[in-house]
Amino acid sequence: MTQQEAYKILGITEEEIEAAGAVPEGKEAAGASTETSQSFDNAFQNFNRQAVERLIKKKYRQRILSAHPDVQPEEETEYSAQLLNYAYAYLKKNGWYDGHVSKKSYQVKSRASKTQVWDAPVNLRAWREREIYSYAEDSEGEKIGYFKIAAGKYIWKTEEDFSLFQKSIFACASQILEEVERKKQIYKSERLRIQTLAALVYLLAQQFLNSTALLKELGQEQKADAEGNRIFLIPAMLELTGNIQAAEGEVISPKRLTKHRLYVKNSQGEELGYLSFRDDCMYYVVIPLMEQRRVKVRMKAAEGKKAACQKLNFYVKLLEKDTAGMPESVNLQIEQLLNDYTR
What integer pLDDT is reported at residue 91 of this predicted model?
77
Instruction: Give Cα 181 distance to the centre of its chain.
Output: 25
Q: How high is the pLDDT of residue 316? A: 97
Instruction: Domain ranges for the chain, please list them.
Output: 3-112, 115-209, 214-318
What pLDDT is attached to residue 243? Answer: 82
| Segment 282-315, tens digit of pLDDT | 999 999 999 999 999 999 998 765 668 889 999 9
Positions in the chain whose pLDDT score sits under 70: 1-3, 14, 17-49, 66-83, 93-117, 138-139, 304-307, 321-328
> Residue 322 has what pLDDT?
54
Q: Evaluate whether 171 touches 206 at the Cβ level (below 8 Å).
A: no
Distance CA 163, CA 115 (A): 20
> Which candidate, 235, 242, 241, 234, places its Cα nearest to that of 261?
241
Considering Cα of 43, then 48, then 51, then 52, what sign does the dihedral take?
A: positive
Task: Answer yes or no: CATH 2.60.40 is held by domain 214-318.
Answer: no
Question: What tens digit of pLDDT does each residue of 58-112 get?
Answer: 888 788 776 644 444 444 444 466 667 777 877 776 655 343 333 333 333 333 3
What are residue 237's DSSP bridge partners?
276, 311
Whole-number Cα distances in Å, 5 to 47, 76, 262, 296: 17, 15, 53, 59
Judged by phi (left if over 0) then psi (alpha if -120 to 50, else beta), residue 19 lies in alpha
